[in-house]
Structure 1
């Protein structure tokens, strides 16, 4: 990917992370924002809203780092196991382990009521549902069925590792951030896994155009000298 397209890719990922987190915060933390509006404290409301946007930017940066780490891991996995099919089976096993870890060690200790379990199950449905939907979209875009498992692996396992900061918390209001941080991570990761081929293809087009311009300049100089 060229620097120009990498910048565009990262910029859009930042906007998605900030925007999704801002919208999600208005819904999830409405009880926090509502008093500012009721009391006419618009400045405080905007300050809190901007803070949520920057929190989304932070999640986006983490997601981008995780994405490029996954690209390396995926290539290493394929090279080690010498078979894409075997590597997909390994990824499926890791998906099961990560989901079990989230349920047993992250959610169970904090689930004291039925309402808590409903909340945690909803988050799992969001995570897994987004992963499956993204995987199906990736297959449709590429016409390559084998990318389904890799995409779901990325969307579940890598997103969960990025989400671990909130999952490991034990503060009284940690569930708010567990929910809040999930949405920008899922949105940014879905954007990255789906749109990377577009930016890679555009980078190839840009390189060809640059090479053509270089050849044209050399031809002009050669003609002038002649």
Structure 2
């Protein structure tokens, strides 16, 4: 990727993070924000808007660090595990899925069902994005894309998982998913890479 394309990719990813955070932030916190809109408290609305943008930019940077870390990890994984790298990624996906349910339940307690539903919905969204990546490239891209979207996002999501505040959980997850999906699907277009690459081991970059 040329430096000019990387700069465009970086700033466009920042915009995605900011937009996702603003939209999800106002929606998830509508109970607190509705009064400000009803009474048109411009100062409070602007303060919330700026705060959501700032947090969204931070989430985008975390997402971009995670994405390029995964691209490096994928190369190491192929070099170390070779043809069994895909099964290893599937095993790690299953392990993280189990962790999102069991270990969070052990730490925070309560009803088990919300932990299961959150993990299932998260995994389903990642499946959908990985399928889009596969359709855009080839079948070999599905597992790397799913691994990045699920395992990579879960690692980036850890600060919110540790706090277990529902609004913060969803707010960070939505922003990270938007940023990660954007990077996963759009990087080949910024790098000028061919979209369809049959007959090769795919990476999350396409």
TM-score by length of 1: 0.80
Equivalent of 1:135, from 130, 151, 155? 130
Task: Report the alpha carbon displacement of residue 182 of structure 1 after superposing the two structures with TM.
Answer: 0.3
Does residue 200 of structure 1 match 2:191?
Answer: yes
* Cα distance in structure 2, aligned partners of 1:107 and 1:141: 37
Task: Report the alpha carbon displacement of residue 122 of structure 1 after superposing the two structures with TM.
Answer: 4.8
* Cα distance in structure 2, aligned partners of 1:22 and 1:107: 30
* Cα distance in structure 2, aligned partners of 1:107 and 1:18: 31
Partner of residue 209, structure 1: none
Q: Which moved more, 1:152-161 or 1:192-201?
A: 192-201
Provide runs of 4+ in structure 1 moved above 3 Å: 107-111, 120-123
Q: Does the residue aligned with 1:82 lie in a helix, a strand or coil?
A: helix
Task: Trace 1:49-88 onto structure 2 (pairs within 5 A).
Answer: 49-83=49-83, 86-88=84-86
Task: Report the alpha carbon displacement of residue 110 of structure 1 after superposing the two structures with TM.
Answer: 3.3
> Is the contact made by 1:127 and 1:186 (CA closer than 8 Å) also made in structure 2?
no
Q: Does the residue aligned with 2:139 lie in a helix, a strand or coil?
A: coil
CA RMSD of aligned residues (A): 1.7
Task: Trace 1:1-12 onto structure 2 (pairs within 5 A).
Answer: 1-12=1-12
Equivalent of 1:150, from 135, 140, 144? 144
Structure 2 gap segments, 5+ residues each: 194-206
* Cα distance in structure 2, aligned partners of 1:40 and 1:62: 33
Structure 1 gap segments, 5+ residues each: 203-226
Q: Relative to structure 1, is the Cα distance of residues 165 and 70 closer, same or farther in structure 2, using a 3 angstrom cutoff? A: same
Task: Report the alpha carbon displacement of residue 105 of structure 1 after superposing the two structures with TM.
Answer: 1.5
Q: Relative to structure 1, is the Cα distance of residues 113 and 94 closer, same or farther in structure 2, using a 3 angstrom cutoff? A: closer
Give the structure with the higher percent helix: 1
Partner of residue 198, structure 2: none
Task: Report the alpha carbon displacement of residue 35 of structure 1 after superposing the two structures with TM.
Answer: 2.3
Aligned length: 193
